[in-house]
Amino acid sequence: MAEDEYAERWKQRKLQEMKKLLSEKAEEGKGEEMKLDWRKTLSSVLTGRGPEVFKAAEKQHPKAALSVGMELARLIHEGRVAGPITGETLYQLFRSLGIRVRLDTEIVYLEHGEKKTIGEKMRGE
pLDDT digits (tens, 9 = 90+) for 85-97: 999 999 999 999 9
The model's pTM is 0.61
Q: What are phi and psi of 110, to 5 degrees?
A: -105, 110
Local confidence band at 1 (pLDDT 50, 70, 90 cut-offs): low
End-to-end Cα distance, the chain = 100
Query: What is the rounded distance in angstroms from the CA atom of residue 16 to the CA atom of residue 38?
Result: 33
Pick the more confident residue, 36 or 55: 55
Find out whether 65 and 54 touch, Cβ atoms under 8 Å.
Answer: yes
3-state helix, strand, coil in the chain (%, to 5): 70, 10, 20
Name the residue range of residue 111's domain: 2-123
- Tell me which amino acid residue 103 is: L
Q: How many domains does the chain have?
A: 1
